[in-house]
Amino acid sequence: MSQSLNQLRKFVSPEIIFGAGSRHSVGNYAKTFGARKVLVVSDPGVIAAGWVADVEASLQAQGLEYFIYSDVSPNPRVEEVMLGAELYREHHCDVIVAVGGGSPMDCGKGIGIAVAHGRNILEFEGVDTIRVPSPPLILIPTTAGTSADVSQFVIISDQQERMKFSIVSKAVVPDVSLIDPETTLSMDPFLSACTGIDALVHAIEAFVSTGHGPLTDPHALEAMRLINGNLVQMIANPADIALREKIMLGSMQAGLAFSNAILGAVHAMSHSLGGFLDLPHGLCNAVLVEHVVAFNYSSAPDRFKVIAETLGIDCRGLNHVAISKRLVEHLIALKHQVGFHETLGLQGVSMADIPFLSQHAMGDPCILTNPRASSQRDVEVVYGEAL
């Protein structure tokens, strides 16, 4: 038997309820956990879109009390997590429901950690630092991309240090994820593009990660197929719920893949960049993806060839240099088709910023599973190419 099949694998995921209208069952699940009072974590945009009102109605139908906490920035901050934990205790809550994109969901996860331990969220940076179970956690994503609702990652922004930090633990995988494609109807085209590319990057990085395996590969490949085949049409036809369902499913599959295989240099560099400039995470990934793929290709050529074929690129008769070129061209073309033409320079990054960004990227857990071992100088060169 080959060595790879002898390795033990683990795979963690929440209980997943997928489909249009699934958000309306949140009250049932909160009641199942014995909730008396629920902390609902969201943000002003999600409240304005009406998705929190649906959650309120479902909780009210079950006779459950709740308190809404919505002071969450697009990149959730340490102080926002700690204020949420304070309000959770003050209002005697016993279940957390987070509704929104990656920011409210990560904030909700962070609140659970801080509440359970009675300590500052900053103390939990890194891998497997959590010692006490969090309160029951139900997540309802309203974007198709971050997959915070199925992952064992929490990403929090430390504004004082101008950096993001990662908490990675199966203890932060939510208990229930209600994945409802109807909630993505309120995304604008730019957010749809950013989060869709984010999900595609999750799938690509999970497939070539040094932590990949037979439990994660099928999810990564199916995510690539769904997103590559439907993202352009979905952005052109934003009211088409069937297309939204396919992208939401692709995002979920990508999340299951990367949560268990971990990621690579795109995310390590993206976390550093997002913390430094307070930029949307999906935008950071989209700016960096083709540059990191070109850098990594030679370290996993056979797997990158499978990615190229999955994205519909005809690789017959081509050597790896040609396949790498076509794959990079395809990723750039896909970004342009969804209206994405950003560069780091356009976002205000200068050559002088690159050493700081690279230093922090080298400290991110995602760099450890990148297929190509990377020095700080390597990361500086890739950032430079993305300017």
Which letter does DSSP use for residue 91 in this model? T
What's the rounded mean pLDDT across residues 252-266? 97
Task: For residue range 233-253, list pLDDT tens digits in order.
Answer: 999 999 999 999 999 999 999
What's the rounded mean pLDDT across residues 33-62? 98
In angstroms, the CA 191 to CA 157 distance is 20
In order of their start, the domains of the chain are 15-184 (3.40.50.1970), 188-386 (1.20.1090.10)
356 — pLDDT class (breaks 50, 70, 90): very high
386 — pLDDT class (breaks 50, 70, 90): very high
Question: Is pLDDT at 199 greater than 70 in this prediction?
Answer: yes
User: Mean pLDDT across the chain, nearest whole number?
Assistant: 95
- Specify the pLDDT at position 5: 53
Q: Answer yes or no: are the C-beta atoms of 308 and 330 closer than 8 Å.
A: yes
- 3-class DSSP state for residue 377? helix
Task: For residue range 100-132, list pLDDT tens digits in order.
Answer: 999 999 999 999 999 999 999 999 999 999 999
Residues in the chain: 387
Going edge to edge, which strands form the sheet with 65-69?
15-18, 176-179, 137-141, 95-100, 37-41, 65-69
Task: For residue range 170-194, list pLDDT tens digits in order.
Answer: 999 999 999 999 999 999 999 999 9
- Specify the pLDDT at position 336: 96
In angstroms, the CA 170 to CA 150 distance is 10
- Specify the pLDDT at position 3: 47
Structure tokens at 126: 């890194």
Cα dist from 309 to 211, 282, 369, whole Å? 22, 24, 23
280 — pLDDT class (breaks 50, 70, 90): confident
Nearest to 108 by CA among 62, 53, 63, 67: 67
CB atoms within 10 A of CB 317: 6
Task: For residue range 1-42, list pLDDT tens digits in order.
Answer: 344 556 888 899 999 999 999 999 999 999 999 999 999 999
- Kindly give, in sequence order, each residue whose CB lies less than 8 Å from that of residue 118, ignoring residues fewer than 6 positions away: none
In the chain, % of residues over pLDDT 70: 98
- Specify the pLDDT at position 289: 97
**What is the full DSSP assignment across 209-223?**
STT--TTTHHHHHHH
Diameter of the chain measured on Cα atoms: 66
Task: For residue range 204-224, list pLDDT tens digits in order.
Answer: 999 999 999 999 999 999 999
Q: Answer yes or no: are the C-beta atoms of 235 and 193 closer than 8 Å.
A: yes
Q: Answer yes or no: are the C-beta atoms of 233 and 243 closer than 8 Å.
A: yes
pTM for the structure as a whole:
0.95
